[in-house]
Amino acid sequence: MVSIFPSYLAPLREALLGRAISRGLLELTVHDLRAWTHDVHQAVDDSPYGGGPGMVMRPQVWGDALDDVLAGPPARLVVPTPAGRPFTQALAREFSAEERLVFACGRYEGIDQRVLDDAARRVTVDEVSIGDYVLVGGEVAVLAIVEAVVRLLPGVLGNPRSAAEDSFSDGLLEGPAYTRPEVWRGLAVPDVLRSGNHALIDRWRRDRSLERTHRRRPDLLEALPADALDRADRAL
Identity of the residue, 36 or 103, whose beta carbon is nearer to ligand 6GU in the bound complex = 103
How far apart (Å, rounded) are the C-alpha atoms in residues 148 and 130? 11
Instruction: Reply yes or no on whether 151 is catalytic.
Output: yes
Shortest distance (Å) from residue 140 CB to ligand 6GU: 8
Q: Taking CB under 6 A as the rule, does residue 131 contact ligand 6GU?
A: yes
What single-letter DSSP state applies at residue 11? G
> How many residues in total does the chain contain?
236
Instruction: Reply yes or no on whether 109 is catalytic.
Output: yes
- Choosing from 32, 64, 98, 166, which is the catalytic residue? 166
Binding segment for ligand 6GU (CB under 6 A), chosen from 23-31, 75-83, 146-154, 160-168, is 75-83
Shortest distance (Å) from residue 128 CB to ligand 6GU: 6
Q: Taking CB under 6 A as the rule, does residue 209 contact ligand 6GU?
A: no
Binding segment for ligand 6GU (CB under 6 A), chosen from 35-43, 59-67, 80-88, 198-206, is 80-88
Using alpha carbons, list the distances in angstroms from residue 181 to 22, 53, 98, 191, 200.
36, 56, 43, 13, 21
Under 8 Å between Cβ of 57 and 110: yes
> Which residue number is nearest to ligand 6GU in terms of Cβ?
80
Burial class (CB in 10 A: 0-12, 13-18, 19+), 234: exposed
Identity of the residue, 54 or 74, whose beta carbon is nearer to ligand 6GU in the bound complex = 54
Q: Taking CB under 6 A as the rule, does residue 138 contact ligand 6GU?
A: yes
Under 8 Å between Cβ of 126 and 77: yes
Phi, psi (rounded to 5 degrees) for 29: -125, 130
Binding segment for ligand 6GU (CB under 6 A), chosen from 45-53, 113-121, 126-134, 188-196, is 126-134
Contacts of 174 (CB under 8 A, 6+ apart): 166, 167, 209, 212
Identity of the residue, 81 or 209, whose beta carbon is nearer to ligand 6GU in the bound complex = 81
By annotation, the residues acting in catalysis are 82, 109, 151, 166
